[in-house]
Amino acid sequence: MDQKQFSFVAGAIFALVALVHLWRIFAGWPVVIDGWTVPMWLSWFGIIVGVGLSFSGLRLATRK
């Protein structure tokens, strides 16, 4: 796997993670980790980070 393929796969995975966070917010899914309920605002942060990393990975994959 070369660098362009890796960047594309990483960008696609981060885009999927951002979409799952968005889906969690709209579906109202509760997430509980060892008795701690993860707040919804943390998913907004996850969307921002996921979109940023996805954009960076996909941009690197399309460079010449």
| Segment-wise mean pLDDT, segments of 10 residues, the chain, 64 residues | 93 97 95 95 96 96 84
Longest dimension (CA), the chain: 48
Q: Residue 1's closest CA among 61, 64, 59, 47?
A: 61
Taking the C-alpha atoms of residue 45 and residue 35, their distance in angstroms, rounded to an integer, is 21
Predicted TM-score (pTM) of the model is 0.86
pLDDT at position 28 is 93
Burial of 12 (0-12, 13-18, 19+ CB in 10 A): middle
Q: What is the DSSP letter of 35?
A: T
